[in-house]
């Protein structure tokens, strides 16, 4: 198994710390789903985090995306309204949630890794559906409705409500971040609500480093949001990208 090191705010974060964050979110989503009548296995009864992740991923992948859109509609409608107001009152200013992941050894080039990440996010296959839903407990819908566009229904970091938005890759309208020094490969895109309102975006970047590569996951949020959400989303990014990168390189 290829080693993946994780850094938040320049400091190394242990796999155990990410496991603890992921398990807490797994249990939160298990409680939410069972309260709404779904029957699935309790993550606290699983032998380890890998098993709990796989069970939740298989369960979600076995449901119609329309099921989760309907289940969460009232909640994401409020969440989207909050994001819309946050964007309006931030007056274009942004905060960045950044997590870096270093893969110590890989034969893949930065372009090849990013191509594989883009395929997972933007090519609808049963395998990619499972990979997208299993990689983070707070993912409910990750599908591509059209070329270079990803529908996302998720709970962002430590936010109290979910959001449903559309990431438009290749469209950098309104993005405030820039490609970091030393990076040449990126997946950048604007996050829009269904009505077109820009609420943020992403600028994921990758560069060769040593015998492997460094992946910099970056999400832009309206600047008015509390730092707790920005910081929690760093763990959200660590959780999802360590799994995607592990799937890609192993």
Q: How far apart (Å, rounded) are the C-alpha atoms in residues 13 and 200? A: 26
Residue 1: the pLDDT is 66
Mean pLDDT by 10 residues, the chain (250 residues): 91 97 97 96 95 97 98 98 98 97 96 98 98 98 98 92 98 96 97 97 98 98 96 97 96
Question: Which token pair is 105?
Answer: 């050894």
Q: Of 163, 158, 231, nearest to 194 (Cα)?
A: 163
Listed in order, strand segments (DSSP E) in the chain are: 4-8, 11-13, 94-103, 139-146, 149-155, 162-169, 185-192, 198-209, 212-222
**DSSP output for 135-173:** S-TTEEEEEEEETTEEEEEEE-TT-SSEEEEEEEET--T
Q: How far apart (Å, rounded) are the C-alpha atoms in residues 143 and 160? A: 23
Q: Of 142, 150, 101, 135, nearest to 244 (Cα)?
A: 135
Q: CB-based burial of residue 135 (10 Å sphere; 0-12 exposed, 13-18 middle, 19+ buried)?
A: buried
The per-residue pLDDT for range 150-171, each reduced to its tens digit, is 999 999 987 999 999 999 999 9
DSSP state of 9: T
Q: How far apart (Å, rounded) are the C-alpha atoms in residues 140 and 155? A: 8
Residue environment code for 6-35, b if the CB has 16+ CB neighbours within 10 A, otherwise e = bbbeeeebeeeebbebbbebbeebbeebee
Q: Dihedral, CA atoms, 41, 44, 45, 49, nearest 10 degrees?
A: 90
Residue 2: the pLDDT is 78
Q: What is the pTM of this model?
A: 0.97
Residues 6 or more apart whose Cβ sits within 8 Å of residue 169: 118, 121, 122, 148, 149, 150, 187, 188, 189
Residues 225, 95 contacting (CB under 8 angstroms): yes
Residues 203, 220 contacting (CB under 8 angstroms): yes
Residue 158: the pLDDT is 77
């Amino acid at each position: 198994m290829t080693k993946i090191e994780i850094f938040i705010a320049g400091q190394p974060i242990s796999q155990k710390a990410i496991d603890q964050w992921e398990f807490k979110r797994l249990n939160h989503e298990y409680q939410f789903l069972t309260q709404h009548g779904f029957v699935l296995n309790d993550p606290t009864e699983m032998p380890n985090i890998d098993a709990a992740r796989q069970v939740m991923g298989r369960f979600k992948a076995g449901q119609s995306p329309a099921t989760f859109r309907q289940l969460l509609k009232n909640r994401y409608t409020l969440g989207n309204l909050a994001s819309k107001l946050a964007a309006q009152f931030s007056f274009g200013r942004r905060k960045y949630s950044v997590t870096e992941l270093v893969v110590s050894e890989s034969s893949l080039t930065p372009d090849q890794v990013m191509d594989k990440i883009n395929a997972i996010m933007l090519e609808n296959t049963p395998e990619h559906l499972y990979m997208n839903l299993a990689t983070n407990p707070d993912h409910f819908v990750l599908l591509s409705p059209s070329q270079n566009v990803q529908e996302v229904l998720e709970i962002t970091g430590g936010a109290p409500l979910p959001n449903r938005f559309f990431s438009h890759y290749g469209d950098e309208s309104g993005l405030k971040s820039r490609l970091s020094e030393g990076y040449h490969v990126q997946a950048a895109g604007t996050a829009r609500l269904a009505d077109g309102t820009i609420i943020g975006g992403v600028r994921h970047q990758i560069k060769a480093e040593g015998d492997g590569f460094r992946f910099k996951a970056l999400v832009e949020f309206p600047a008015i949001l509390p730092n707790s959400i920005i910081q929690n989303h760093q763990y959200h990014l660590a959780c999802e990208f360590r799994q995607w990168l592990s799937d890609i390189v192993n």
